[in-house]
Amino acid sequence: MYRRIFPYLLIVLIFWGFVSCHSQKVNQSSTERLYKKDNNELQAEFCLYHVNDSVSRLYYSFSNEPLVYKRNDTSAYFFSNVRLVAMTSPEDNLSLLLDTTAILIRDRQKDVLVTTLKGSVDIVLRAGKKYHVDIRIDDLNKHTRYTHSVYGDKTSKDTRQNFLVKDQAGEVHFTSYYKSGETVQLFSERNTERLFNVDYFDQEFRLSPPPFSQEPLARKTYQPDSSFSVYDSGGFLQLTLPREGFCHVKTNEQTREGITFFVFENSYPGIKNSGQMIQATRYIMAKREYDACINAANQKEAIDKFWIDLGGSRERGTELIRKYYGRVQDANKLFVSYQEGWKTDRGMIYIVFGAPNRVNKRRNGEVWIYGEPGNVSSTVFTFIKVQNPFSDNDYALERNEIFKMPWYQAVDMWRQGRVYLDN
């Protein structure tokens, strides 16, 4: 009896093993390059705008500096040859490919060699759902691929991607951060309200605690410091941004969904002064060192001495400064939400550890792997996507005491004057 049943039992077990493995795959996509330096040399930026209930427009902007230009024939002109591919999946099933759109971008080399290539491509996104859009940019002349991704929320007409932001010159604004006093124009083809509500928040947020910390984290709550209304005039909404803080524009008082304008220092995403440099170095400083630098009569001299002492020479210290604050600036671009990118959980890990060897993007977050996937000696950080009305880019680290050793190892390498994982 057992011998007759066993083959069927084995088939069932194999089938369920296949289903189990498959179910693990459908909710994540993997990349080895997402946050690495060579992948970001294009300085690519994207903006997703919902035109109507079935079509969304993906705006792109990237530098032509890394591209290779070649002659296509015997003419005197050199051309780039770039293919942009947008692959759309539902957020809850990343292995299910719903649609693929591809365009060729050919740019003729001009007298001004370094310029920015901009344009847009329409993609099919149906109303009522959330999406994940994988983006490939292939330099066909150079045989190089750059990978990016965009989150799409089309669950309602109130979400931020129903608004297209332009500056006064009519250029699309790709980032969520702005300068104090900057004037922007908002366009929305899915919202025709004449009156919009604006909530203003003026709050300072602390930087993230270490990844092994067990202290409870304070999350952003919806408590505006002030509110006002603005009118749609001539088919668009014009708004002059106030002092540092952030403005959240809503279509009505019954929703918290909307588009948010984060106003930081005018130097953002860069570092403006010595005080900011000291604050951003807190991750690798002892408390006494931090207090001594922040309270120093000459902060520039204090922070320079800190890095020179770590490097052992002015030349080496200068190189460490370039590497460390380069990561701070990258974190500000990549991980900005309602606070500066370097203060976020992902910003903290990126600055101290560098770009991960692999990123697994999941429906509800990201997994960063330092080392080989599946290797017990690898360090794996899991970030959970936080749902809030201000940003699609807010992720919280799942903290654990097991990160204490790798954290101190990475910090110690910086303190020995060496860059941890220079990638």
Residue 134 lies in a domain: yes
Segments forming the whole domain that contains residue 50: 29-155
Amino acid found at 285: M
Cis ω for the linkage preceding 224 (within 30 of 0): no
Helix (H) / strand (E) element for 293: namely helix 287-294
Cβ neighbours of residue 388 closer than 8 Å, sequence gap 6 or more: 219, 220, 338, 394
pLDDT truncated to tens, each residue of the chain (423 aa)?
A: 444 444 444 444 344 444 344 444 446 667 778 899 899 999 999 999 999 999 999 999 999 999 999 987 777 789 999 999 999 999 988 889 999 999 999 999 888 888 999 999 999 999 999 999 999 999 999 999 999 999 999 999 999 999 999 998 999 999 999 999 999 999 999 988 778 999 999 888 888 899 999 887 666 678 899 999 988 866 789 899 988 899 999 988 888 999 999 999 889 999 989 999 999 999 999 999 999 999 999 999 999 999 999 999 999 999 999 999 999 999 999 999 989 999 999 999 999 999 999 999 888 899 999 999 889 999 999 999 998 889 999 999 999 999 999 999 999 999 999 999 988
Query: pLDDT value at position 326?
Result: 96
Give me the CATH number covering residue 128. 2.60.40.10
Residue ending a domain, among 155, 176, 195, is 155
Tell me if 241 is assigned to some domain: no
- Both tokens of 204, joined, read 């300072």
Burial of 84 (0-12, 13-18, 19+ CB in 10 A): buried
Question: Which sign, positive or negative, has the C-alpha torsion 147, 127, 118, 45?
Answer: negative
Radius of gyration of the chain from its Cα atoms, rounded to whole angstroms: 24
What's 70's DSSP letter? B
Element (H, E) at 353: helix 345-353
Is there a domain that residue 123 lies in? yes
Distance CA 162, CA 171 (A): 17
- DSSP letter at 162 equals G
Domains in the chain, number: 2
Domain boundary among 155, 188, 214: 155
Report in angstroms the alpha-carbon separations of 166 from 19, 59, 195, 209, 333: 47, 12, 19, 36, 19
* Single residue among 131, 155, 179 that ends a domain in this structure: 155
Does residue 253 fall inside a structural domain? no
For β-strands 259-263 and 177-178, DSSP reports them as: parallel
In a domain, 132, yes or no: yes
In a domain? residue 373: yes
Joined tokens for residue 7 = 């083959």
Q: Is 44 a domain residue?
A: yes
Compute the distance between CA of residue 276 and CA of residue 279 in angstroms, rounded to an integer.
5
| Predicted TM-score (pTM) of this structure | 0.89
Identify residue 409 by its one-letter amino acid code: Q
How far is it, in rounded angstroms, from Cα 105 to Cα 120? 11
Q: What is the pLDDT of residue 22?
A: 41
Residue 106 lies in a domain: yes
Give the Cα separation of 377 and 165 in Å (integer).
45
Give the E-state strand segments of 70-115 in sequence order.
82-90, 99-105
